[in-house]
Amino acid sequence: MLDSKIIIALDYSDKSQVKELCAKLDNKKCKLKIGKQIFTKYGPSIIEEVQSLGFGVFLDLKFHDIPETVYKACIEAFKLGVWMLNVHALGGAKMMESAVKARNEVNVDAKLIAVTLLTSLDRLEISQDFTDNRINVVKSLAAQAYSCKLDGIVCSPADIRNIDNDDTDFLYVTPGIRLETSSDDHHEVFTPKTAIDLGSSYFVIGRPITQAKDPMVVINKILSSI
């Protein structure tokens, strides 16, 4: 079976909700994203639990610190056997290279990706130079992530064509995916088909799946739409 493009964001506060969702999922059709909330509450045990059910884990902790600290944190994260991990590209080239070094030392097959500019930032919050030139900043951070040998970036499907990287192995992990028009809190949303056409490699999807009565119905709908 082909690698599924669906990564489900486990934005839950309690382990029981994770277990309840996992019991309804086919581990061959999706991977799971463990973020700051649930990891901070339960630590590595939550990763072990979902891995023992056969799910691949994207550990979304967005590391951003001095290179040595990120190197050591990445060593520990990759030792947990995660399929994917991320860091902030704004941590700089040396920090990203340290993360790659850690990945290569622990598990060369694991994926390491970078967050460029958080989509939640708006011009009032940080320097206007950043936000007025958002796409140029994203482009430059994506190019830096690529030259540091990361596997890809997190971005909006709309950014992919501007990034203009002709290496087809470079991954674009895209949030803001919706089958219907509801956007929740995203500025802009894309259907799975549009995201694929724009070059998305993996979708991060939370609420449309986690809040569905039958998550597999939604997953199968997404998979058949692409």
Q: Could you list the active site residues?
A: 62
Quick check: 35 binds ligand C5P (CB under 6 A)? yes
Binding to ligand C5P by CB under 6 A, coded x per residue (else -) over 97-126, reads: ----------------------x-------
d(CA 153, CA 194): 18
Quick check: 175 binds ligand C5P (CB under 6 A)? yes
Torsion-angle region of residue 67: left (phi > 0), alpha (psi -120 to 50) or beta? alpha
Q: Which stretch binds ligand C5P (CB under 6 A): 24-32, 99-107, 143-151, 205-213?
A: 205-213
Query: Exactly one of 38, 205, 219, 222 binds ligand C5P (CB under 6 A); which one?
Result: 205
Burial environment of residue 18 by CB neighbours within 10 A (0 to 12, 13 to 18, 19 or more): buried
Kindly tell me which of 80 and 173 has the beta carbon lying closer to ligand C5P. Answer: 173
Helices 93-106 & 134-147 angle (0-180, nearest 10): 40
Residue with tokens 């596997």: 151
Query: Exactly one of 207, 217, 220, 221 binds ligand C5P (CB under 6 A); which one?
Result: 207
Binding to ligand C5P by CB under 6 A, coded x per residue (else -) over 120-159, reads: ----------------------------------x-----
d(CA 192, CA 188): 13
Quick check: 86 binds ligand C5P (CB under 6 A)? no
Cβ contacts of 144 within 8 Å, gap of 6 or more? 89, 93, 96
